[in-house]
Amino acid sequence: MTDNSIGQTSAEELLKPHSKWEDWKANFKRKGWILLFIIPAFIYVIVFCYIPMYGILVAFQDYMPGDPILGQGTHWVGWQNFQTFFSNPNFQDYFWNTFILCILGFIVGFPLPIIVALLLNSLRSKKMKKGLQILFYAPHFISLVVLVGMMKFIFGSDGLLDQLSAKMGGDPNGLKLFLNPDAFRPLFIFSGNWQDFGWSAIIYLAALSGVDPSLHEAAKIDGASRFKRIFSVDLPAILPTIVMLMILSVGNLMSCGYEKVLLMQTDGNLVTSEILSTYVYKFGLIGGQYGVGTAAGLFNSVINVALLVIANFTSKKLSGNSMW
Amino acid sequence: MKKAIIGVSVAVVWGVCVTMFALAAKPEQTTENQFTILTVKEDAVKDYNTMPVFQDLAKETGLDVKWTFQTSTQYGNNTDPVGIKGIDAIYHSGFSNLKLYDYGKRGRIVAIDQYLKVMPNFQKILDSRPDIKEALKSPDGHIYSLPRIEEMGLKQFPNILYLNKKWVEKLIDTNQMPSNVVLTKEQLKDGLDLKRSEFKAILEKFNQLDMDGDNDPKNEIPLSFVSNNWQGNEADLIASFGLPENREHKTVVGDKITFTFEDEKWFDAVKEIADWHDKELIRSSAFTQGENDFLARGQGGRYGSFYWWEKKTVCSNSDDYIIVKPLINDETGERYVGVSNEQEIEKGEAVILGSCENKESLLSYFDKFFEPIYSAQLNYGSIKSGAFKSEKVNGKLIPNDDHGEQSADDFRMKNAPYGVVYLTKETWEKSVEMESRAKLRLENLEAYVTPYKFEGATSIPNLNYSNEELVTLNTYEASLSNNVASWYANAITSGAVPTKASWQGFLDANKKSIEKVKEINQGAYDRYLEALNK
């Protein structure tokens, strides 16, 4: 009978109206230790993402390395650095260049790994799949400097193609891809995607491996073609991953890295290749205008945050998937 | 009891550790006359502590100076070199005007002008040369660094045009000389006179024919240079249209700051160079290559002609090349050469840190560097290590070129610390003979280039700006030079003929920047002139 009574009380307890807080407490007691796993990530984010943020204050100072960021020797200048940055006659061009370069990179670069992952996943031969996958992501491990070196060697002035065309009696001045402002964006985007599409596909492949095989079997029995199954089974399965990654990439839309742009820059393509981050590098770090450089970087980050919020909101409304 | 014993022993061990660390961290006791100077040098350069010139200096001044080193890569990684602990000064600091001023106004480096009483040599220089004094000043009127002054008159004219004599001889031999050029083999020597149109016609032949005899008529490069480099650039080619061009397109003509790209002749020059490019006389690589690429391409003897400051480093067959005088303008029959803005008075060679305890002594030590006997040794290597011939001629030190198996360049690179020196026309006349390569170059310049300097053109000296002016300049100057560089490179290499409308459009788009930069530069230049005339 005792068993029964215990069962009864717990049933009563369960039926009692619970507050959310009590639920949470009970839950925490039972599974709270799992939270310990967050600690390394938490420390990482605090140390590398939040603590350095105090450096943003430099945007409002006449700063020089060695100055205290907060203290007696700090030279506050208010919004002057931002004024200097915004009144730069080329500011609009730099902004526009950044935007176009990044958005084009996004349009080309975002769907590519998804398509590749879906295609790889539906390959019948396991060996073929493994082989192709390695082949696709190998270029990821080439360093940027080497990549741009290769590009210059092949496409650059007096490069491989120019010499070939000269050998065959053509114009030795040939392609001039690195001097042509119109060629900069395609060159930048396609080389970037060539390098990274295989690597970015890995995360989608991982998501695809989690698709329940019985769904595929059911679809097969229903007579769905291979193509139909990709659209009706695989794609919906990885849709949350896609949306999440899209929101994250939109949040990075205005930052496409200065290193490669800088390496590819020549006087000839400056019209399209001078972007906000190269400006920050040249003016801020090389020119020693740390305040103005930080102001420009901060401006860039603010835009990124705004884009992130908009993307998240839109996706929440449209697909129900969101980060928060 | 046990706990108490453990507690006490932990406390004792802790105490011992702390004391030991404290003792270890305590800096060595330095006496008043001990200094540590950080210098930037490559590993191949000998240890400054063992160089006889520094040992002599230490003996003469009675100071104990210890040199520590960083390679330029290590040094470049310091975000705040002035913050390095345990040093009193930085030699070869390489600080820009802005950095000197920023550190100076924070008191982190010393305003040297306040210690002139212990620096008789430097005082004398500043008194006798107001231009040097003006050039060294920061916006607040202080001098924050010790300069390097080596006045050879070379930097203002950084380009000489060389032509492949062998190739021209081949044209004469094979009767393929262009019809508009009359040249005999005897004329093919240094100082050749050529009109621009004649030069162009020769380059066209270089491009069409297999000049180097490897059965590949397309691998010859008729004319090469490094666009936008401080030397060996195409400025003199543009200047031949009748304007004082330099790589910054900015110069002083009759006390007025002038942008050459505003002149219609500049547009004509760009149009013509674009034509040369389209006709394959200039390769597009001239606009993308750096010095090293340029030198590497030249080694195979592929250059028909090139702009550089000398010919030995450019090609292995350097004897085949002769100097062409600045090209003659076809319409006026005149020659024109612009003046570069490279300075022979270099700021930022050495700075004294604010934390240095005995600034007077250290500055009196550095003051010795300006004496000819030390300047010469710092520039070429110590007398005791054989940098100069044992016998003076007319009281002058003669640099020794013969170092056995070691080349003169190699010797100098390893033995000469460079840095703070004062070598002027007077020094060259009285105390030290110029190095033979520099002398040869100077002779070449005097014979073939400098006589054709654009009348009234001078270089822009180191100018001083107020804080507000600096902010405005920062806003406009960098973007303007970006825009000029890209318009220029595009106009020439795009393959389309540059139109006047596009040039005018470029000028209009940058009108405000041009006006602002000119106005601020002019103001500063006027103040500079005023200070000189005082």
Nearest CA distance, B220 vs chain A (angstrom): 10
Question: Across the interface, which of B83, B99, B283 has its CB nearest the CB of A158?
Answer: B283
Give residue for tokens 């005023």. B530
Mutation choice for B interface testing from A75, A86, A90 by most B CBs within 10 A? A90
- Pairwise CA distance, residues A64 & A18, whole Å: 58
Per-residue tokens: A169? 């009696």
Q: Which residues lie across from B150 on neighbouring strands?
A: B423
Residues in chain B, pLDDT under 70: 1-31
Distance CA(B504)–CA(A99), nearest Å, equals 28
- Scan residues 468-527 of B and list those with Cβ closer than 8 Å to A: 471, 474-476, 478-480, 482-483, 485-486, 488-490, 493-495, 510, 512-513
Give the count of beta carbons closer than 10 Å to the beta carbon of residue B17: 10
* CA B100 to chain centroid: 18
Tokens of B403: 């170092």
CATH code of the domain occupying A94-142+184-319: 1.10.3720.10
DSSP class of residue B215 equals S
Tokens for A224?
Answer: 């769905």
- Round to whole Å and give the CA distance between B437 and B312: 10
Element (DSSP H or E) covering residue B123: helix B120-128
The answer, yes or no, to whether residue A178 has pLDDT greater than 80, is yes
Same fold for the pair B34-154+344-431 and B160-324: yes
Residues in CB range of A322: below 8 A, 6 or more apart: A243, A247, A312, A313, A315, A316
Q: How far apart are CA A302 and CA A306, in angstroms?
A: 6
Average pLDDT over residues A33-41: 92
CB-count burial class (<10 Å; 0-12, 13-18, 19+) for B201: middle
pLDDT in tens, A140-164: 999 999 999 999 899 888 788 888 8
CB nearest to A64's CB, from B106, B228, B287: B106
pLDDT of residue B257: 95
What residues pair up with B195 in beta bridges, in sequence order? B328
Burial grade of A236 (CB within 10 A; 0-12, 13-18, 19 or more): exposed
Q: How many CA atoms lie within 13 A of B279 on its CB side?
A: 18
Q: Partners of B109 in the beta sheet? A: B353
Phi, psi of B377 (to 5 degrees): -70, -35
Pair type for strands B160-164 and B303-308: antiparallel
- Cα–Cα distance for residue pair B477/A111, rounded to 1 Å: 41
Distance from the Cα of B148 to chain A's closest Cα (Å) equals 22
Retrieve residue B150's tokens: 């080596």
| Confidence grade of residue A251 (pLDDT, cut at 50, 70, 90) | confident
**Residue A46: what are its φ and ψ, rounded to 5°?**
-60, -50
Decide if B276 contacts B492 (C-beta within 8 A). Answer: no
Tokens 């449209």 belong to residue: A318
Rounded mean pLDDT, A222-244: 90
CB neighbours of residue A270 within 10 Å: 22
Rounded CA separation B150/B291 (Å): 23
Q: Delimit the domains of chain B by residue range.
A: 34-154+344-431, 160-324
Q: Which of residues 212-231 of A touch B (CB under 8 A)?
A: none
Sheet holding B303-308, edge to edge: B221-224, B303-308, B160-164, B321-324
Whole-number pLDDT of residue B27: 47
Contact present, B207 and B279 (Cβ < 8 Å): yes
Distance CA A267, CA A270 (A): 5
**Spatial strand order in the sheet of B256-259:** B256-259, B250-253, B457-458
Q: B107 in the Ramachandran plot: left (φ > 0), alpha (ψ -120 to 50) or beta?
A: left
Q: Do B490 and A271 touch (CB under 8 A)?
A: yes
CA gap B12, B6 in Å, rounded: 10
| A 27-56: CB under 8 A from B | none
Closest CA to A73 of A63, A83, A85, A82: A63
Q: Report yes or no: B394 and B432 within 8 Å, Cβ to Cβ.
A: no
Among residues B370, B470, B517, B419, the alpha carbon closest in space to that of B99 is found at: B470
Task: Identify the closest residue of chain A to B509 by CA–CA distance.
Answer: A89
CB contact under 8 A, A89 and B478: no
Q: What is the DSSP letter of B488?
A: H
CB B327 within 8 A of CB B334: no
pTM of the predicted structure, to 2 decimals = 0.83
Interface confidence, given as ipTM, is: 0.78
Q: What is the mean pLDDT of residues A102-107?
A: 91
Are the C-beta atoms of residues B340 and B246 closer than 8 Å to each other?
yes
Nearest-CA neighbor of A266 among A194, A171, A188? Answer: A188
User: Cα(B273)–Cα(A323) distance, rounded to whole angstroms?
Assistant: 57
* Contact (CB, 8 A) for B257 and B473: no
Residue B387 token pair: 């940098």
Which residues on neighbouring strands pair with residue B346, listed in sequence order? B148
Q: 3-state secondary structure string, B292-356?
A: HHHHHHHCCCCEEEEEECCCCCCCCCHHHEEEECCCECCCCCCECECCCCCCCEEEEEEEEECCC
Q: What is the pLDDT of residues B119-172, one digit of tens each?
A: 999 999 999 999 999 999 998 899 999 999 999 988 999 999 999 999 999 999
Per-domain boundaries in chain A: 94-142+184-319
Report the CATH architecture of B34-154+344-431. 3-Layer(aba) Sandwich (3.40)
End-to-end CA distance of chain B: 87
Q: What is the CATH number of domain B160-324?
A: 3.40.190.10
d(CA B206, CA B221): 8
Q: What is the mean pLDDT of residues A198-215?
A: 91
Rounded distance between C-alpha atoms, residue A44 and residue A62, angstroms: 30
Q: How many CB atoms lie within 10 A of CB B352?
A: 23
- Nearest by CB to B490, from A80, A181, A287: name it: A181
Q: How far apart are CA B494 and CA B165, in angstroms?
A: 32
Q: Which token pair is A58?
A: 């430099």
Nearest Cα residue to B223 out of B249, B200, B239, B197: B200
Please enumerate in sequence order all residues whose Cβ is within 8 A of that of B266, keeping only pairs 6 or more positions apart, or say none: B238, B241, B243, B245, B249, B260
pLDDT score for A2: 44
Q: Cβ(B92)–Cβ(B76) under 8 Å?
A: no
Any CB–CB contact under 8 A between B54 and chain A? Answer: no
Question: Which ranges constitute the DSSP H helices of B391-435?
Answer: 408-415, 425-430
Which among B218, B479, B486 is the nearest to A88, CB-wise? B479
Whether pLDDT at A7 is above 50 = no
Confidence of residue A48 (pLDDT cuts 50, 70, 90): very high
Average pLDDT value for chain A = 87
